[in-house]
Structure 1
Amino acid sequence: MISLNDIMLQVGDQYKMTCIAGKEGCSNIIGWVHIVEDPTIIQFLWSNDLALTLGLGFQDEKALLDCVTKLIKRNCVGLIINTGKYINKIPTSIIDYCDAKNFPLITIPWEVNVNIFIKDISIRCQQAVMDDQKIAQYFMKGFRDETKLEQYRDELMLHFDTQSDFQVTLISFQHLPQSDIEKQRAMARIRYFFGDIQCKYLFFWYEDSLVLITNSFLENQLISLCEKMILTAKRKLDGLQIYIGLGSKLNDLHSLPKNYKRAKASLRYAQTFHQDIACFKDIGMYQILFSIEDQDILDQYYQDCLNPLIEYDEKHNSQLLLTFKFFLKFNGSIQLIAQELYTHRNTVNYRIQKIKSLLHSELDCADELFKYALAFYINES
């Protein structure tokens, strides 16, 4: 990943770059660089793209402001203006607008060779992408085989504090087309929506989820960032549902495979119960249920426990299973069950007796009750 700040530090003096507005947005990551002289081109830009203009199509204040407004709407990371021929002075109103939006506005003088500048920045962006992909491969191999991470520790030490804590966050998109181009577009948007993440981190796709690995980062700050990202995504990505699952904050590089599995369990919880964000530490019993990869085991357990009630309900069109669920929920309170089901107490009493008969149990033993409660948890999962 390479940000505008990185570019300014690396080649800012060489190309006489001056950031005249939106300095707080310079931490955003650059996806690619595009020349924009026609406002109709802007609709094809992606989130995190950087625009550069000679000013040919934006010589008056209104046209330039319209260009900036459209770039911000497209979630671009900034605008570089090659001043000196078509645009000599940037209007104060546009500088103020960019400052208000934290949208970087950068100038380079006319004598700078724009072709060389674009080629240089593009090469740096491409190299950053290749570096990220290489590191992502290390992590993906480590998710499959944790012994691999130790082989890559020296390489990863160049990018992360491998002895500090790591956290894995998984992001899932409902109904997102599974083409590579759509996945990359989604990653660019989400990375932009997260804004400036104040730690070492990496985004990449793995097993149909977008992975965010953060290093040496406070958990409450990560949760806060996720919440803000969700709000922004709901506002800007109309109709695209996003779910987030957070793993645990665990120490050292070797914890990542375990952390990834916990994030998967949290994501399953979020998807199952339609919660925007789920943290592994908060999902209770489902920490166990959603960590079991062999779903057949869970399905069989549910059937073994409750099949007599399932078959009876199917044959008699009754509600024994539902009644039993509330029996467990309300600790056997006939009154509360009757209120929940809008059913007479005598009817509830009859059903409970029938349930005891079918299950061959008096339902007065904690171990028995836990067994059946677990079966209902499995069904909900």
Structure 2
Amino acid sequence: MKRYYSAMSVSMQSLYSATKDIYRIKVIAGKDGMNRNVSWMYYTEDESTIAFLRGGELAVTTGLSLERRVQNESALHGGTPESIANAEIEYLAHFITKLSERNISGLILNVGKYITSVPEEICALCDRLSFPLLTMPWEIHLIDVMQDYGNRIVSDRQKVMTTEKALSNALFFPEQFDSAQLDGTRFAGAEKYSVILMQIPEEFFNGEEEKIRRYMDFSFNGKLRIMPSEFACILHESYIVYVFHSDARNVAQTLCTVASHDRYFKGMKIAVSAVCRTPEELSNEYRHAKLALSFCAPEETLCDYNSLGIYRLLAEVQDRRILEAFYEETLGKLAFFSEDKRNDYLNTLSLYLESSGKIQKTAEENATHRNTVNYRIHKIAEMLGIDIQDGQTRYKIQTALYIRKLLKRTECTQEQRL
């Protein structure tokens, strides 16, 4: 799959923080959704056009259609205060629900003329949906806000693409990377860096980059409730690669939870790297996260590189031939067995060593009779010409078994003999 760069990091919160005093904007509901990305501004007075939105837009309305709804209510039913209030609530609730369903980032109400107040029921709805609802005084000109926000979005998009191009070099092409490429970005001068990998489903949007980008930027990542400035999101090969300028282990579980409820990423494996101190080390952390992903057990969805124990050490041997040679000289003679039989014997041997040579415990763990365990252990010792009771020999065999597992889960030229 091709690589793409997430092209958006302007959030509702960043726009609000930068302009709340200029345009006298207030957040009145849906504050939990203020981390949502914003792709563009969209002026609307007609709910019938919502279906044409692509997700991520920040909508703004004067409430002109609401005024017309109130006028119709007055003409049809006499316009009692109660019926008018109910009509306002019904219209706004339907309008906001439709916007939320399209993954719109938020709604600004231009209050003062057609909308004079916002019902409590509407605020409660936005809070339940985590849908940001903001107000702006009527005397503020919409054209000024839309032009300003558009300029901010375009400017930030260029910065983000520059940042993530530099991070791509750091991750995948370290020989092309220089830390100066991150100068002026949110990743420059950070004290910590880390990586999270998430598997992507097969045929994810049929590999269409624009659809993938929009889904990640304006749907999935928004559910993480992490400010976009805290991370970068890159698609590389068969992974979603998250780069954090912090310790990603703090958010890995959140990512797992969101993925478990996502229609595309449910059941996908996730791995988190260790922490490095410089961006030059990010390529190592990407490799570490890939290693952790390969060790993720079938029943697990998250694996931490720091939990891999001795495999972290063995994986640093760059020349795989050294590991293959060690395995071959230690356990290679067992290649005499058929693959199925060899696997049975090696599994028994592994359990035997893990139980400190206790035959009964090995039999119980292996669901095998103790006589079978005894026979297999003696047969292995005979074929290898070793004293299985010798401590150094056991250590060497255990190391060879670790190497076998590592090589089977990573690239290996001798896999048929393992």
* TM-score in terms of structure 2 length: 0.75
Q: Distance in 1 between matches of 2:187 and 2:343?
A: 59
Give the partner amino acid of 1:79: L
Please say if 1:232 is aligned against 2:258: yes
Point out which structure has higher relative CO (alpha carbons under 8 A, 6+ apart).
Answer: 2
SS of the counterpart of 2:108? strand
User: How has the CA–CA distance of structure 1 residues 66 and 170 changed in structure 2, closer, same or farther, with 3 Å as cutoff?
Assistant: same
Q: For residues 42-64 of structure 1, what are the alpha-carbon distances to aligned partners after superposition, in whole Å with 9 as ceiling and x for unaligned? A: 58543x44233444566532232
Say which of 150, 155, 158 aligns to 2:179. Answer: 150
CA offset at residue 246 of structure 1?
A: 2.0
After the TM superposition, which residues 158-197 of structure 1 pair with which residues of structure 2 at under 5 Å, given as runs?
158-162=185-189, 164-175=191-202, 176=204, 177-188=206-217, 189-197=219-227
**Contact 1:146/1:254 (CA < 8 Å) preserved in 2?**
no
Equivalent in the alignment of 2:153: 125
Equivalent in the alignment of 1:203: 233
Say which of 365, 373, 381 aligns to 1:348. Answer: 373
User: How has the CA–CA distance of structure 1 residues 212 and 239 changed in structure 2, closer, same or farther, with 3 Å as cutoff?
Assistant: closer
After the TM superposition, which residues 329-368 of structure 1 pair with which residues of structure 2 at under 5 Å, given as runs?
329-363=354-388, 364=390, 365-368=393-396
Q: Distance in 2 between matches of 1:127 and 1:347?
A: 70
**Contact 2:193/2:279 (CA < 8 Å) preserved in 1?**
yes
Say which of 38, 41, 45 aligns to 2:50. Answer: 41
Please say if 1:285 is aligned against 2:313: no
User: Which deviates the most, 128-137 or 254-263?
Assistant: 254-263
**Contact 1:302/1:379 (CA < 8 Å) preserved in 2?**
no
SS of the counterpart of 1:81? strand
CA offset at residue 100 of structure 1?
A: 4.7
User: Which deviates the most, 21-30 or 296-305?
Assistant: 296-305
**Contact 2:174/2:280 (CA < 8 Å) preserved in 1?**
no
Please say if 1:247 is aligned against 2:273: yes
**Contact 1:15/1:112 (CA < 8 Å) preserved in 2?**
yes
Say which of 54, 59, 64 aligns to 1:51. Answer: 59
Say which of 258, 261, 264 aligns to 2:287. Answer: 261
Please say if 1:96 is aligned against 2:105: no
CA offset at residue 322 of structure 1?
A: 3.2
User: How has the CA–CA distance of structure 1 residues 287 and 57 changed in structure 2, closer, same or farther, with 3 Å as cutoff?
Assistant: farther
Say which of 312, 326, 332 aligns to 2:351. Answer: 326
Q: Distance in 2 between matches of 1:66 and 1:291?
A: 57
Q: Distance in 2 between matches of 1:38 and 1:205?
A: 34
Give the partner amino acid of 1:378: L
Please say if 1:17 is aligned against 2:25: yes
Say which of 108, 123, 137 aligns to 1:80. Answer: 108
Extract unaligned runs of 5+ from structure 2. 1-8, 70-87, 410-418
Extract unaligned runs of 5+ from structure 1. none
Say which of 168, 176, 198 aligns to 1:140. Answer: 168
Say which of 24, 27, 37 aligns to 1:29. Answer: 37
CA root-mean-square deviation: 3.5
User: Which deviates the most, 285-294 or 103-112?
Assistant: 285-294
SS of the counterpart of 2:337? helix
Q: Distance in 2 between matches of 1:17 and 1:151?
A: 37
User: How has the CA–CA distance of structure 1 residues 159 and 102 changed in structure 2, closer, same or farther, with 3 Å as cutoff?
Assistant: same
CA offset at residue 70 of structure 1?
A: 4.1
CA offset at residue 134 of structure 1?
A: 0.4
Aligned residues: 373
Give the partner amino acid of 1:345: R
Equivalent in the alignment of 1:370: 398
Q: Distance in 1 between matches of 2:174 and 2:113?
A: 58
Give the partner amino acid of 2:164: A
* Sequence identity percentage: 24
CA offset at residue 83 of structure 1?
A: 4.0
Q: Distance in 2 between matches of 1:380 and 1:12?
A: 56
Q: Distance in 1 between matches of 2:224 and 2:385?
A: 55
Larger-gyration structure (1/2):
2
